Structure 1
Amino acid sequence: CARVLGAKLGPLAPQGRAIGVMLPNANAAAVTVLGVMSAGRVPAMINFTAGPTNILNACKAAEVETIVTSRAFVQKGRLDALVEALSQSLRIVYLEDVRGQVGRIDKLRGFLSWRQALHPRRPEDPAAILFTSGSEGTPKGVVLSHRNMLANAAQAQARIDFGRTDKVFNVLPVFHSFGLTVGLVLPLVSGVPVYLYPSPLHYRVVPELVYGSNSTILFGTDTFLTGYARAAHAYDF
């Protein structure tokens, strides 16, 4: 699936250049990130809560000219004004439109060649671009190589009891380093199921979903975990 999507997203930017990804924690975000990587481009993770000025500054710093998002996300997140502001300077591409370009031949090619990346990458090649919050001035881009991301995941794995019998529930946004490298990349490269949830602020909902999905690992900050503990029933965890 990621390879098929990557073949459609690749033409949006020259090889080695960045493509903005503005999506919530969901399957679409994971597939888009992996698809952009597979195509030899670099996903620049856009913090959609940062406001148009900070996002435009971040895109300028990373030389991003195109942002991939979803109409359903924009509608549900009430981000129409944000997208309208961004579209004055950037090209906005919707996954719904890209999906319409995928035919049976594309799916067959993806099925037969799913083990092969569209463009093989080296460990030192850029894997993703994250951005600082901009609280101390213009947002700065932080480039993580494939080696960096795998090293971060390995460091986290070395500190927790983590195995293939586990299930990870990730509420941390994938536009943050921990949410991307530990909440998404770590379980994927370890063969561990991961559930993505779009907001860490739903203190009553998250514990119920953790219980319902039989998840065994929940990553979070002290504030989030305290909120879940206060709202949860004893059997949720």
Structure 2
Amino acid sequence: MTLVHTFLNTCKKYAQKTAITDPNGALCYEDLRREALRCAGRLLSGSAGENIGILLPNGKEFVAAFYGILIAGKTPVPLNFLLSPEQLLYVIRDAEIDTVFTCNHFVPLLGNQIKYVFLMEENDSGVLLNEDSIHYGGEGEQAAVLYTSGTNANPKGVVLTHNNFLANLEGCMQAFHFAEKDILLGILPLFHTYALTTTLVLPICVGAAIIYLPRFSGLKVLEMIEKYKVTSLFAIPSMYRVLLRTAESTKYDLRTLRLCTSGGEPLPGDILEAFRKVFPIPLTEGYGLTEATAIVSVNLPEKSKPGSVGPPLDNIEIKIVNDNGQEKPRNNDGEIWVKGPNIMKGYHKLPKETAETIAPDGWLKTGDYGRLDKEGFLWITGRKKELIIISGENVSPMEIEQVISRHEKVFEVAVVGAPDKLRGEVPKAFIALHEHATCSEDEIKNYCMQQLPHYKVPKYFEFRKELPHGPTGKILKRALK
């Protein structure tokens, strides 16, 4: 069984049922199947490479392109349109992408790097792929390459197989009890593994309906929940904070909701408490990572411990280890290791990093710190990596440091994450200037804004005469937090 099998089976079983609704209208499963076959036909009419980019907002077109690429026997690579032009170019080159499905709005982001640009506005002109030519693939074949920021500035491509996705979906369906009657609201960008799994692959697999919003708006989300009788919502804490603020000053019927889950970044306790008072159901928190195909553990309304990220899904194992990889007893902090059929195949073209991340016996070293309690609930206590998680997006401090360090007045710089009520974390830059140099915060901020996406520009700047160093000469970031 592969994602192509599940997609075509669902389209046949629920042919006339509405599959997707977005601001441009609705599409039933049969029409979605036809759009996917058109995408596949367009791909196979030329000489596209193996990895195919998708540079699209949330909507019918993204879903059609995703499955059309798989049907054509190619690998979809969702592209993050929030990346800087340099990083987007890096991903395109690293994945060896020569073909992209996109829209007129995003074409300027591609420059002249792409051989074949397929505009989804022109998909109606495509010829449907003959059903005899459908590539169903095998369980172990690549189903997607998702790029995620690592401890280095450049993103890494995570290779996920059909079996990875289907195994994670099996665990999710057992936990969430999803069925064709569910209506999910997709507000997270689909280039993110959390969104791709929970608001595309999962609902398509069970024949549920999906409502997509290309841009997040608290008022619009509440309006959509009432209008379409949404049953499930997956979002990040900063989005739930905005929803709370909006719900407190408006009146919408939210009684159809049966599940609201938070992930992507730590969930602050004040959001959890406030949610109970405003929404008809409790907010539950989960934990996952791209390398584990999205979801590893999750609290459920009937099985929950506030502050934890829940027990692992039924088909996933978790253990806590010390620095030597030896398992620690319950209620002891250590690095979180994960094992199961959801673990990635590896990093694209990075065998050394893959071997460092996946142990020979299949355990994934997450780089996160936590503990398992006696009941098997996972508690996150910190991150081994230095990544800053801004509204659910992984941001490498090194990328920001490299930009600031190029300023002529800067001697050295260190960037760390600072707590932020709206976005979870924001960058904070500690800067030491060259001797006798003078520089204002505005000057550095304006410099950053010219070279970084807005969300990566530090919110805070602190100038120091010198930064703390360890015995080997490295800046001691822990002394700055």
Q: Give the TM-score category using the shorter length.
A: 0.7 to 0.9
Following superposition of structure 1 onto structure 2, how do residues 35-54 of structure 1 map, counting pairs within 5 Å? 35-54=68-87
Distance 1:159 1:89 in 2: 43
Deviations for 1:155-185, whole angstroms, at most 9, x for unmatched residues? Answer: 2222224222211111111101011111110
Q: 1:8 deviation in Å?
A: 1.2
**What does residue 84 of structure 1 align with?**
108
d(CA) in 2 for partners of 1:85 and 1:191? Answer: 34
Separation in structure 2 between the aligned mates of residue 47 and residue 144 of structure 1, nearest angstrom: 17
Q: Partners of 1:167 and 1:84 in 2: how far apart? A: 34
Distance 1:163 1:93, change over 3 A: closer
The 3-state SS of whatever aligns with 1:204 is helix
Q: Does the Cα contact within 8 Å between 1:204 and 1:228 map onto a contact in 2?
A: yes
Question: Is the alpha carbon distance of 1:85 and 1:186 closer, same or farther for their aligned partners in structure 2, counting shifts above 3 Å?
Answer: closer
For 1:1-237, what aligned pairs fall within 5 Å after superposition? 1=34, 2-10=36-44, 11-14=46-49, 17-71=50-104, 74=105, 79=106, 83-84=107-108, 86-91=110-115, 92-102=117-127, 106=128, 113=131, 118-133=134-149, 136-199=152-215, 201-232=216-247, 233-237=251-255
| Contact 1:168–1:193 (CA under 8 A) maintained in structure 2 | yes
Task: State the alpha-carbon separation in 2 of the partners of residues 99 and 12 from structure 1.
Answer: 20
- Kindly state the Cα deviation for residue 117 of structure 1 after the two structures are TM-superposed: 6.3
Matched residue type, 1:99: D
The more displaced of 35-44 and 150-159 is: 150-159
SS at match of 1:173: coil
Q: Which amino acid aligns with 2:113?
A: S
Residues 54, 134 of structure 1: 8 Å contact kept: no
Looking at structure 2, the residues matched to 97 and 166 of structure 1 have their Cα atoms a distance apart, in angstroms, of 31
Unaligned runs of 5+ in 2: 1-33, 256-481
Q: Deviations over 1:185-221 (max 9, x none)?
A: 001011111112112x311111101110111111111
- Checking the alignment, whether the CA contact within 8 Å between 1:211 and 1:236 is kept in structure 2 is yes
Q: 1:134 to 1:65 in 2, by over 3 A?
A: farther
1:98 deviation in Å? 4.2
C-alpha separation in 2, matches of 1:134 and 1:56: 17
Q: Which is greater in Rg?
A: 2
Contact 2:203 2:209 in 1 (8 A): yes
Deviations 1:12-63 (A, max 9, x none): 524xx10100011100100110001100011110001112111111111111
TM-score (norm 2): 0.43
Question: Once structures 1 and 2 are overlaid, which stretch shifts more, 49-58 or 227-236?
Answer: 227-236
Amino acid at match of 1:206: V
Measured in 1, the distance between the counterparts of 2:150 and 2:200 equals 24
> How high is the TM-score relative to the length of structure 1?
0.83
2:407 aligned partner: none
Task: Tell me the C-alpha RMSD between the 2 structures.
Answer: 2.0
Residue identity in the other structure for 1:13 = A
Counterpart secondary structure, 2:218: coil
Between Structure 1 and Structure 2, the one with more helix by share is: 1
Distance 2:189 2:224 in 1: 17
Counterparts of 1:53 and 1:33, CA distance in 2: 24
Q: Measure, in 1, the Cα distance between the counterparts of 2:108 and 2:237.
A: 35
**Structure 2 CA distance for partners of 1:117 and 1:146, relative to 1, 3 Å:** farther
Amino acid at match of 1:227: V
Q: Is the 8 A contact 1:152 1:182 kept in 2?
A: no
The 4+ residue runs of structure 1 with deviation greater than 6 A are none
Letter in 2 for 1:45: P
Letter in 2 for 1:5: C
Residues in 2 aligned to 1:52 and 1:141: alpha-carbon distance in whole angstroms? 17
Per-residue CA deviations over 1:76-118 (Å, capped at 9, x if unaligned) read xxx4xxx33523222333123443243xxx4xx76xx4xx661
Distance 2:118 2:173 in 1: 35
Give the Cα–Cα distance (whole angstroms) in 2 for the partners of residues 68 and 234 of structure 1: 37
Higher strand share: 2
* Aligned-residue identity in percent: 29
- Cα pair 1:164 1:191 within 8 Å, conserved: yes
Q: 2:461 is matched with which residue?
A: none
